[in-house]
Structure 1
Amino acid sequence: MFDLCVVGAGLIGSAASKYASRGSSVCLIGPDEPTKEERLTSSPRDIYGAHYDEGRIYRQSTSDPVWAKLAQKAIPRYSEIERESGVDFATEVGCLSVGSRGGNYITALKEVVQKDGIQAETLSGTEVCSKFPFLSIPNMDEAVFESHFAGYISPRRLIKAQITIAKKNGCQHIQEAVRSVSRVLHDDSNKCEVVMEVVTDSGRKVLAKKVLLCTGAFTAFRKLLGTEVSPDTKLFGLSVTKLEISEEDAVKIKAMPSILYFGEGGADWTKDYPPDPRAPVVFYMLPPIRYPDGKYYIKLGHDPVPRMFHTGPQMKQWFVQGPDPRLIRQMANMITSVVKGVKVLSYHGDSCVVDVAPSNRPYIDRVHNQLGVAIAGNGYAAKSSDEIGRLAVELLMKDQWDIDIPQNLFHVQLKSGCGNPTSRL
């Protein structure tokens, strides 16, 4: 019998298991990264994740003050996690947030920077190109550049670091997918009590006093919250293109920061992305990162018309088949529009799914006193996962909320199988 079972071994679940294992008996359950064979349509595997990657942007500012606060709590702890685990995962290359001067995005971002006292400088498009001569940024755009506590993390290595610490604390890690979670009566030494039963795909049963679901976009497709109940989220598929460059070119542009863009684009940028010329140009871009295959890739992500998923098989198909090849090519052209002077060796696409709550904030809450959730990353959670996991554990295990953000902003909304809102179980 464990004090807590954390279901989902991704970024949030691994963080939660680390914090909980400091004072409780903990079991973390979640499958390992899929093999090449498990990414085939014929594979029985149907649980995937967006964290099988080497690049996620981190920075302390965002245009949303709540997400900014979560990031400001999590990011300063990166160095501590690296020291305790012996696993490096963060690269501080800075982050450049660019948008139309006077536009809503850049205005809101500057307000958060000023209010929260974030160390950052405001640059014109011309100043950006002077600072980073290999970038093509429109002169009339404006940018916020954070050089401190900003850059990119390897989600794979951050998860490895968190689980390494959790295991040092005695956490047990079961590398399986969970089929169901339910309340059951448990009779132990003539003492009958209600506990949580977690059943894996292999039929293994784990008993715990409490369960925390960190199951992301797949929460609705297993029996985790009760019969015909799912979180009120929308599931969107986002496309990614990874463009291969040589190690020589990677060294030439090694000063490149992570980039977020929301504006009208440059006059010399490709005209085929986004496909709808009336839509704003929105993307995130990572500097050259060396991947496990030994090659360097610049990654661009977003989707001008993201598709929505309603079933598990739809999501599996997306992870297995990937984005439209035409969109992959268009996104590769956007990379070479922004980053000048690099030779394209190859490019390929990848898939991502984000679970978006109506509030655009994560769900960090209790469904009942034995079941908690830390889900709905909304596409922003990677950099803040350490704080989200910590808050969820404090709330579920200690009934505490110790951050200066109202807890009601993170209340979970559930819906019935027919889509109607429902109260907590």
Structure 2
Amino acid sequence: MAYRDEKLDEEKVFKDPVHRYVHVRDRVIWDLIGTREFQRLRRVKQLGTTYLTFHGAEHSRFSHSLGVYEIVRRILENFRDHKDWNEDERLLSLCAALLHDLGHGPFSHSFEKAFRLDHEDYTQSILLGDTEVNRVLSGVEEGFPKKVADVINKTYTDKLVVSLISSQIDADRMDYLQRDAYFTGVSYGHFDMERILRVMRPLEDQVAIKESGMHAVEDYIMSRYQMYWQIYFHPVTRSAEVILSKILKRAKELYKNGYEFELKPVHFFSFFEEAPSLEEYLDLDENVVMYYFQMWIREKDPILSDLCERFVNRKLFKYIEFNPNLQMNAWRELYDLFEEAGVDPRFYLEVDSSSDLPYDFYRPGEEGERLPIHLLQPDGGLKELSRLSEIVESISGKKRTDHKLYFPADTVEQISDEKTKQRIKGILYGREEQ
């Protein structure tokens, strides 16, 4: 029997709090899960710094990746005998679902921003490079790793396969909304996934939803909207991300200036030079990063030491509503006042903005095009979701943006020059204390 068709002697299952069980019967999938690169995802949190806001959010990208795989496996069970589904794409779809997040680094987005990296580039490198994952995929057939990479990169010729893990209603989102809601303890992210899976239908280049399932899709769209604003953009989580980014920025600056670290950050050297090899990238996980942060609390540099103390022991920056587009003069004055007070504004003042577009219909030629969700009519025709759903229509194409200014309130209170302190507090809090 060919490797691609080989089954395990007995089905393996992972007990999962969201899907109850994750089922594995294919030898290829089981071998992929056992690779070094996939096991590394156990040491990368799915939600980065969110655990400092919602203490249950300790789940990993490993569990999320298994969840996405399981949802695609269930979808394909339903597609099996459908005329528009090519069963030859089954294993490819399962592998892409399992491996879609393979390149995420520690504290993903803050880390990428600090070192000008893109996790998608590393996903491609792991799939196509000298890795255990590549060796497993290469055993399926010649060129199979490239096929998986193309699906994840959204360049694969079969757009139906791509849409399973990358569209406005895909297995990736369906898993992380439910999983993140479960581990943060909120109710916003729950929707009737079983119903959605039952009414999904494969078409030539996308998945459509039977019109009778519209209300389940509405629930899904609203869940996504609420999760972004209540969980993903939570201002306390963003405060932790700001401090994390400042730590990495400070450490990099010290390294560039020839500072002698008490604990040499050997795992970061190539990142400071913005040229990490794949091996160096894979060696850096959140356990390693947190070890350095704990050790850097003892560094002589007061800024690095203070920022690490804040992050490790959750002494986060405070925040206020602050729109830099409307309050530029206040921002400039605050920046100057912080400098006068001896508080480096590069590391202790930050405006952070978040924005989200919960659902959008297709607008040709616009940047960031999104393929719409189509509802399959009883006569076989298609209608775009927001044309039939008043709920979705009300939020379609509406981008919401939120701005916050982050600062260390305790440090402001310790400023010795009373006049400077009062002026800073006047700008931050809208009043000057007498």
Structure 1 and Structure 2 fold alike (TM over 0.5): no
If the TM-score is normalised by the length of the shorter chain, which range does it land in? under 0.3
Using structure 2 for the length normalisation, give the TM-score.
0.23
Using structure 1 for the length normalisation, give the TM-score.
0.23
**Structure 1 or 2: more helix by fraction:** 2
Larger Rg: 2
**Structure 1 or 2: more strand by fraction:** 1
RCO greater where, 1 or 2, for CA within 8 Å and sep 6 or more? 1
